[in-house]
Amino acid sequence: MRARDIAEAYPVVGVDTSALVAARLIAGDRLPGLVVTDRDGTPKAVLPASEVVRFLVPDYVQDDPTLAGVLGEVPTEWLAGRLRKATVAELLPVRPAELAVLQSDDTLVELAATMARLRSPLCAVMDGKRVLGVVTAARLLELVCGGQPE
Amino acid sequence: MRARDIAEAYPVVGVDTSALVAARLIAGDRLPGLVVTDRDGTPKAVLPASEVVRFLVPDYVQDDPTLAGVLGEVPTEWLAGRLRKATVAELLPVRPAELAVLQSDDTLVELAATMARLRSPLCAVMDGKRVLGVVTAARLLELVCGGQPE
């Protein structure tokens, strides 16, 4: 079994994609994150769902989390408003984690080793320069131990 | 909207749960990870899916990822075998990431701020000492920007 046999179709966003669109893609399919490509289509980074959540929170609350309790209930529109004005590039951490990238003929062990090393929730599988699909950690676990008898 | 209104039923595993059972829970529902409780039922840690994948990979390959290429194709049973012999406690990193724990009446902003600070894919919502449910980053994003018009 090779990476190409395991990779699944998966939304890929560009650095210029609206942050709100990216958030909805994650929400709609309950994804652990998204693969972000550069303007030339090269995979650039993983955008973990937690980084999008981080962007919802105003900087002054991130700096002092006790303020979150003081704010009380805020309308979800207020939180979504921050995403509406931003692009995916703004959601990425200053030093994004290294993206796990595999080639289509890489083996299951190579896939697991790369995801393990980068502690990444997903990796991009390439066919040359094109993103063929994505493998999530959950998908890999399904293949390895999903259907086996006890 | 409070944490208790958002929390979803979610599998919770103990430190003594079989690693294979934990892996299958993640795989079956494509979860970003699991909440792990201590022997007294107290939430102890998040077990991210990527840590379970890490456990599939033998130590000597983790130490030298180029070996993964040399191994070639290995049967999935061989990889699952490592999980079969282990418990969840063995899957947890030596220094597990701090668990995001919210109380049932915490607000959406408190939830987002805590997940943001810990960069966690999920958090446990407590009703006193009992785990009421879990909120994933994707679920939070669904609530904040799922159904809004552009």
Q: Are B141 and A26 in contact (CB under 8 A)?
A: yes
Tell me, what's the pLDDT at B73? 82
Q: Name A131's bridge partners.
A: A126
pLDDT confidence bin for B89, thresholds 50/70/90: very high
Query: Closest by alpha carbon to B19, among B52, B46, B42, B43?
Result: B52
Asked if the model's pLDDT at residue B124 lies above 60, the reply is: yes
Asked if the model's pLDDT at residue B148 lies above 60, the reply is: no
Asked if the model's pLDDT at residue B83 lies above 50, the reply is: yes
Tell me, what's the pLDDT at A150? 46
- Bigger pLDDT: B20 or A67? B20
Taking the CA atoms of chain A, what radius of gyration do you get in angstroms? 17
Task: Report which DSSP code applies to B92.
Answer: S
Tell me, what's the pLDDT at A26? 94
Interface A–B counts its CB contacts (< 8 A) at 220
- Average pLDDT rounded to a whole number, residues B49-56: 92
CA A55 – CA A32 distance, rounded (Å): 16
Q: Which of B145, B148, B150 to mutate to test the interface with A (most CBs of A within 10 A)?
A: B145
Taking the CA atoms of chain B, what radius of gyration do you get in angstroms? 17
Global pTM reads 0.87
- Average pLDDT rounded to a whole number, residues B27-39: 91
Contact residues, chain A, for B136 at CB < 8 Å:
30, 49
The answer to whether the CB atoms of B71 and A109 lie below 8 A apart is yes
The answer to whether the CB atoms of A79 and B48 lie below 8 A apart is no
**DSSP string of B47-68?**
EEHHHHHHHHS-HHHHH-THHH
Asked if the model's pLDDT at residue B116 lies above 60, the reply is: yes
Q: Which of A92, A94, A109 to mutate to test the interface with B (most CBs of B within 10 A)?
A: A109
Low-confidence ranges of chain A (pLDDT < 50): 147-150
- Nearest by CB to A108, from B76, B120, B139: name it: B76
Tell me, what's the pLDDT at B138? 93
The answer to whether the CB atoms of B108 and A23 lie below 8 A apart is no
pLDDT confidence bin for B61, thresholds 50/70/90: confident
Tell me, what's the pLDDT at B150? 46
Dihedral sign (CA A46, A49, A52, A58): negative
**Percentage of chain B lying above the pLDDT 90 cut:** 51
Question: Which residues in chain A (35-94) have CB-CB distances under 8 A to chain B?
Answer: 48-54, 56-57, 61-62, 65, 68-69, 71-74, 76-77, 79-80, 83
Q: Are B122 and B99 in contact (CB under 8 A)?
A: no
Tell me, what's the pLDDT at B49? 92
pLDDT confidence bin for B24, thresholds 50/70/90: very high
Per residue in B98-111, pLDDT tens? Answer: 888 999 999 998 99
CA distance A107 to chain B (A): 6
Strand B33-37 to strand B12-14: parallel, antiparallel, or no bridges (unpaired)? Answer: parallel
Angle of helix B49-56 relative to helix A137-145, nearest 10 degrees? 50
Tell me, what's the pLDDT at B149? 42
Dihedral sign (CA B80, B81, B85, B91): negative
- Average pLDDT rounded to a whole number, residues B113-133: 89
Contact residues, chain A, for B143 at CB < 8 Å:
76
The answer to whether the CB atoms of A119 and B26 lie below 8 A apart is no
